[in-house]
């Protein structure tokens, strides 16, 4: 995890700022810019990202702090994303998680978390 964090800080992904919390390296403050040419372009979205002790065997926990109207995000900010559930891989990295969340600007209505938004 230390290596992943160092890599992320040295070479941040475009439109993503992730900083570990001062008190624990397992908790990150994240800001993601809305994806270009999407409904979220120009937006700034704050998230919390935490890694359990069992990481990388157990998926990280991620949720939006910024309110977002999206079929794959519920009103509490929880995210429906396959790599955080049944598509978890030992190759998963912090960068991969964040890029996948940023790519949610293209909603997946076939796997909604917020059914009212899909309707």
List, in sequence order, every residue forming a beta bridge with 63; answer none if it has no partner.
48, 78
Backbone angles phi, psi at 18, to 5 degrees: -130, 125
Q: Check 80, 99, 117, 118 and give the catalytic one.
A: 80
Catalytic (active site) residue 80: yes
- Give the integer Cα–Cα distance in Å for 118 and 115: 5
User: CA dist 57 to 24, 28, 51, 52, 78, Å?
Assistant: 19, 19, 10, 9, 20
Catalytic amino acids?
A: 80
């Amino acid at each position: 995890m230390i290596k992943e964090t160092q890599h992320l800080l040295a070479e941040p992904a475009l439109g993503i700022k992730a900083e570990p919390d001062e008190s624990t390296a397992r908790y990150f403050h994240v800001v993601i810019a809305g994806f270009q040419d999407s409904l979220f372009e120009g937006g700034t979205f704050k998230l919390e990202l935490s890694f359990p002790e069992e990481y990388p065997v157990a998926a990280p926990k991620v949720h939006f702090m910024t309110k977002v109207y999206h079929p794959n995000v519920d009103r509490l900010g929880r995210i429906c994303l396959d790599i955080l559930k049944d598509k978890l891989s030992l190759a998963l990295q912090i960068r991969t998680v964040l890029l996948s969340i940023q790519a949610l600007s293209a909603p997946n209505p076939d796997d909604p978390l917020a059914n009212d938004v899909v309707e």
